[in-house]
């Protein structure tokens, strides 16, 4: 732009050049899309996520790392977004969660980030390995019990979508019945209908406020109580925002990674054969999926604190950047990323660069090992108990979710040899939303949490 040009929207390079990538459909070839953008624009491309939302998509591996590591230049604070500062948008629940704002660690930089992330890190560190492992096995078993006799299931709706939500709910210190409401709320917060998403965000706030009040009265050995008693001394409202962050960040990506690993084992017969013969470890398969089909293809956002040049692209202060993990993993400058194979294996051997799926810099995921355990124990438990697992539809008929920044199945229908659910003294009733809806109302305390549960029960039964 020259000095004598007016600074209006049509001359803004981001607005003027943004390539629409919304509405491409679930079956769009994402690999081809990232490469087309890279060959046209280089390592940073202007793209349109909806008719009124243009962002810079970072495609290069090194550039993604640079953006995530340099928080003083690339802030996570959505309030610095140019559109917000200039009054063209509101930071409300109608924006996708990662572009919205809460007073949580995710949207803070520097010292404020350190203050807010400390209770999360310290609470997560207090979950013992044994407890994590036992809770994953028990929760997986509970879910498998509910469908194992039927000989068919949807491994997304019946398993992958519920496992992380029920587990997080346990770690928060609540009974499993509440986990179904939590799962429903987390999912609805991502609903493209802004009214539904906004309603779910409000209910989520109520859910966690009820939880904080309950745990203040009756502390336990759980994440909520440990965060309440942390030396940082957060207010109730700050506690609610950190709990919403933990719940939101922990659910969707873990579901999608678990789903994509199960899908790979079902559709890639070579990978499945190598896994069952012991030729390749499950961790290697997860690593392969993360490199080639990352469940989070791209993640918003960062906001430059000043005008910057990134990979020869001029980016104005406050113009939104989105990290392109999938594009970065396919960056041609990462020699050998996709063409070298371990001896005798169909899986790429990998290379010296780490994948970006956990992020980098101060906001890197604090729960990497927990997430990996949920996925690996969740897969192992399912394969130990369910035999002759087959896809229930031809691979081409599988429904993928529309969101371009996610690689996520809507459903994963399977068939298998039916097996009776064992008698379990701890789980006499196989919990499903319908049985949960009539569960334990007798001793329900009349707090906010219960009101949210009743709201969810009404939705589940409608």
Alpha helices by DSSP H, listed for 101-193, are 110-125, 129-147, 163-172, 176-188
Cβ neighbours of residue 352 closer than 8 Å, sequence gap 6 or more: none
Preceding peptide of 301 cis, ω within 30°: yes
- What are the angstrom distances between the C-alpha of 206 and each of 13, 51, 178, 198? 42, 32, 13, 13
- Least Cβ distance, residue 189 to ligand HEM (angstroms): 15
Of 301, 286, 329, the closest CA to residue 34 belongs to 329
Residues in the chain, total: 462
Least separation, in Å, of the C-beta of 134 and ligand HEM? 17
Question: Which residue lies nearer to ligand HEM by CB, 181 or 245?
Answer: 245
Min dist. Cβ of residue 172 to ligand HEM (A):
10
What the block records as the tokens of 318 is: 């406050």
Please report how close the Cβ of residue 396 comes to ligand HEM at its closest, in angstroms. 26
Distance CA 301, CA 295 (A): 17
User: Shortest Cβ distance from residue 246 to ligand HEM (Å)?
Assistant: 5
67-77 CB burial, b ≥16 within 10 A, e <16: bbeebeebbbb
Closest approach of ligand HEM to the CB of residue 70, in Å: 12
Shortest separation between residue 393's beta carbon and ligand HEM, angstroms: 25
313-315 vs 413-415, strand pairing mode: unpaired
- Least separation in angstroms between residue 307's CB and ligand HEM is 22
Three-state secondary structure call for residue 82:
helix
Q: Which is nearer to ligand HEM, 237 or 340 (CB)?
A: 237
Residue closer to ligand HEM by CB (options 106, 181) is 106
List residues near ligand HEM by CB under 6 A: 68, 76, 105-106, 117, 120, 245-246, 249-250, 253-254, 257, 296, 299, 357-359, 363-367, 370-371
With H, G, I as helix, E, B as strand and everything else as coil, classify residue 41: helix
Tokens of 7: 């600074």
CA of residue 91 relative to chain centroid, distance: 21
Q: Give the span between the Cα atoms of 303 and 66, in whole angstroms.
A: 13
Compare residues 357 and 437 and give the one whose CB is closer to ligand HEM.
Answer: 357
Tell me the closest approach of the beta carbon of residue 148 to ligand HEM, in angstroms: 25
- If the CB atoms of residues 31 and 115 are measured against ligand HEM, the closer one turns out to be 115
Of the two residues 257 and 414, which places its CB atom closer to ligand HEM in the complex? 257
Residues with Cβ within 8 Å of 172's Cβ and at least 6 positions away in sequence, in order, are: 211, 222, 223, 224, 243, 246, 247
Q: Residue 300 or 398: which CB sits closer to ligand HEM?
A: 300
Q: Which is nearer to ligand HEM, 357 or 449 (CB)?
A: 357
Check if the beta carbon of residue 304 is closer than 8 Å to that of residue 317: yes
Distance of alpha carbon 262 from alpha carbon 257, whole angstroms: 9
Nearer to ligand HEM (CB atom), residue 93 or residue 366:
366
Residue among 48 and 363 whose Cβ is closer to ligand HEM? 363
Minimum CB distance to ligand HEM, residue 397 (Å): 26
CA distances (Å), origin 258, targets 163, 185, 371, 375, 405: 9, 20, 9, 5, 17
């Amino acid at each position: 732009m020259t000095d004598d040009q007016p600074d209006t929207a049509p001359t803004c390079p981001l607005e003027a050049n943004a390539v629409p990538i919304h509405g491409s459909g679930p079956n769009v070839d994402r690999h081809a899309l990232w490469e087309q953008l890279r060959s046209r624009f280089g390592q940073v491309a202007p793209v349109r996520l909806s008719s009124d939302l243009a962002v810079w998509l970072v495609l290069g591996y090194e550039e993604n790392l640079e953006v995530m590591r340099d928080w003083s230049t690339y802030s996570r604070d959505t309030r610095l977004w140019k559109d917000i500062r200039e009054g063209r948008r509101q930071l409300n629940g109608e924006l996708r969660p990662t572009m919205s704002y809460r007073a949580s660690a995710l949207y803070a930089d520097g010292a404020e980030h350190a203050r807010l992330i400390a209770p999360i890190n310290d609470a997560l560190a207090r979950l013992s390995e044994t407890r994590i492992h036992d809770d994953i096995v028990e929760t997986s078993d509970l879910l498998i019990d509910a469908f194992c006799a039927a000989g068919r299931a949807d491994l997304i709706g019946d398993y992958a979508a519920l496992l992380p939500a029920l587990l997080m709910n346990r770690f928060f210190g609540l009974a499993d019945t509440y986990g179904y409401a939590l799962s429903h709320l987390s999912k609805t917060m991502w609903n493209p209908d802004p009214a539904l998403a906004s309603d779910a965000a409000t209910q989520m706030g109520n859910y966690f406020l009820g939880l904080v009040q309950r745990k203040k009265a009756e502390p336990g050995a759980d994440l909520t109580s440990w965060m309440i008693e942390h030396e940082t001394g957060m207010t109730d409202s700050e506690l609610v925002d950190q709990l919403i962050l933990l719940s939101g960040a922990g659910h969707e990506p873990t579901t999608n990674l678990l789903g994509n690993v199960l899908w790979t084992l079902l559709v890639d017969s070579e990978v499945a054969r190598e896994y069952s013969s012991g030729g390749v470890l499950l961790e290697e398969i997860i690593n392969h999926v993360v490199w080639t089909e990352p469940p989070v293809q791209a993640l918003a956002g960062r906001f430059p604190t000043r005008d910057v040049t990134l990979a020869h692209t001029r980016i104005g202060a406050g113009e939104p950047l989105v990290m392109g993990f999938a594009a970065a993993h396919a960056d041609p400058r990462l020699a050998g990323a996709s063409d070298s194979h371990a001896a005798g294996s169909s899986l790429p051997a990998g290379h010296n660069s780490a994948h970006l799926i956990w992020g980098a810099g101060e906001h890197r995921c604090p729960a990497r090992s927990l997430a990996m355990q949920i996925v690996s124990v969740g897969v192992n438990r399912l394969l130990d108990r369910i035999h002759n697992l087959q896809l229930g539809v031809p691979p081409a008929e599988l429904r993928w979710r529309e969101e371009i920044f996610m690689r996520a199945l809507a459903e994963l229908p399977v068939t298998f040899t039916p097996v009776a659910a064992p008698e379990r003294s701890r789980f006499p009733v196989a919990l499903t939303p319908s049985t949960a809806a009539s569960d334990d109302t007798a001793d329900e305390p009349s707090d906010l949490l219960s009101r949210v549960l009743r709201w969810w029960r009404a939705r589940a039964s409608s």
